[in-house]
């Protein structure tokens, strides 16, 4: 289990830290004393194409309030020159990069549930793939030389779904989404192969059923009333706040034996049990076994048994 300030003196980059999982991860890294560069496209002076109100400045302020140092930097991770400049800035200001979290997504508005490939907008689908996959590759391309300068560096690829779950085609989400999430898993494997011999670790980590800002709005609930949504979608009873995946990433980052996870696909529920941390309400949501039993035609039982 992680303790306060175990990441003091360490530098992290959370690419795509504006909201949701990225915000939770940045905050929890800060809670362990890390300096966290928080990047995204939405700032207090303007929003990205997603049109949401959360900003990188707000996330950086949460990092600082938690005990670290948050540094917001507006970056479009599809722009190689901007990403290269970001990494050079981190090098100039800190001289090291210890944790890279590739969490860029931004594709919620670019796919439609239940539609076949030819029924979806092709431009939107290709844009989704660029946002979800190309951004991660561009960021790692420029960041890995700095991260591997010192042994013990960690790369975390944030995706949706474990390797076991995503091995079965996610038809309800469509081919563009399915390919995006599977590609990120594979990218973690590739980076593990390349940085492992240099003393680094690369993993894929997925949250469970995430109560992000957008998800709460989608269900018409708040963090105070979220259980009301479980009446329509029982799996939501096993949902989690962004803090859980944040604590998962922070626990791996602070683990002196983190290389044991190199190349693995991990999820927040598993890591909560491995490291002994909980969500903000003291529970340990573990939704993937619940969902797998549902998908395989089984009866998962009481959702509360998975908390």
For 23-33, the pLDDT digits (tens) are: 999 999 999 99
Q: Identify each DSSP E strand in 22-178 by its residue range.
A: 35-40, 69-74, 99-102, 154-158
**28 assigned to some structural domain:** yes
For 205-239, the pLDDT digits (tens) are: 999 999 999 999 999 999 999 999 999 999 999 99
**261 assigned to some structural domain:** yes
**222 assigned to some structural domain:** no
* pLDDT over 90 at 2, yes or no: no
Domain range for 17 is 11-217+240-290
Dihedral sign of CA atoms 233, 238, 242, 245 in order = negative
**306 assigned to some structural domain:** no
The pTM (predicted TM-score) of the whole model is 0.96
3-class secondary-structure state, position 155: strand
Closest CA to 253 of 22, 23, 24, 28: 28
What does the alpha-carbon distance between residue 120 and residue 123 come to, in Å, rounded to a whole number?
Answer: 9
Worst-scoring range by mean pLDDT, 11-25, 178-192, 290-304? 290-304
Domain count within the chain: 1
**300 assigned to some structural domain:** no
**36 assigned to some structural domain:** yes
What does the alpha-carbon distance between residue 276 and residue 201 come to, in Å, rounded to a whole number?
Answer: 21
Residue 111's pLDDT band, with cuts at 50, 70 and 90, is confident
Question: Sheet of 154-158: strands edge to edge?
Answer: 69-74, 35-40, 11-15, 99-102, 154-158, 201-206, 265-267
For residue 96, give the CATH number of its domain.
3.40.50.720
Closest CA to 21 of 238, 210, 219: 210
For 7-61, the pLDDT digits (tens) are: 999 999 999 999 999 999 999 999 999 999 999 999 999 998 888 999 999 999 9
**122 assigned to some structural domain:** yes
**227 assigned to some structural domain:** no
Q: Is 162 left (phi over 0), alpha (psi -120 to 50) or beta?
A: beta
């Amino acid at each position: 289990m992680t303790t306060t300030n175990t990441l003091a003196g360490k530098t992290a980059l959370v690419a795509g830290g504006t909201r949701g999982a990225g915000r939770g991860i940045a905050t929890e890294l800060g809670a362990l004393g890390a300096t966290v560069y928080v990047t995204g496209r939405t700032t207090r002076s303007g929003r990205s194409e997603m049109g949401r109100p959360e900003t990188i400045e707000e996330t950086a302020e949460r990092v600082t309030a938690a005990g670290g140092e948050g540094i917001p930097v507006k970056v479009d991770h599809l722009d190689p020159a901007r990403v290269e400049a970001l990494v050079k800035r981190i090098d100039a200001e800190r001289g090291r990069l210890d944790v890279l979290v590739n969490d860029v997504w931004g594709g919620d508005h670019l796919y439609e549930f239940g539609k076949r490939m030819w029924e979806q907008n092709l431009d939107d689908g290709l844009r989704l793939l660029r946002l979800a996959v190309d951004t991660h590759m561009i960021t790692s391309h420029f960041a890995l030389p700095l991260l591997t300068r010192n042994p013990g560096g960690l790369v975390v690829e944030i995706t949706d779904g474990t390797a076991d779950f995503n091995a079965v085609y996610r038809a309800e989400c469509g081919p563009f989404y399915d390919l995006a999430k599977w590609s990120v898993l594979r990218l973690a494997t590739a980076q593990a192969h390349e940085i492992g011999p240099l003393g680094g670790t690369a993993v894929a980590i997925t949250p469970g059923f995430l109560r992000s800002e957008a998800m709460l709005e989608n269900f018409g609930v708040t963090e105070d009333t979220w259980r009301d949504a479980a009446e329509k979608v029982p799996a939501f009873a096993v949902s989690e706040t962004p803090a859980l995946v944040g604590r998962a990433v922070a626990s791996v980052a602070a683990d002196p034996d983190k290389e044991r996870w190199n190349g693995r696909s991990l999820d927040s529920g598993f890591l909560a049990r491995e490291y002994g941390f909980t969500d903000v309400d003291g529970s340990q949501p573990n939704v993937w076994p619940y969902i797998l039993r549902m998908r395989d035609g089984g009866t998962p039982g009481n959702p509360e048994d998975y908390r």
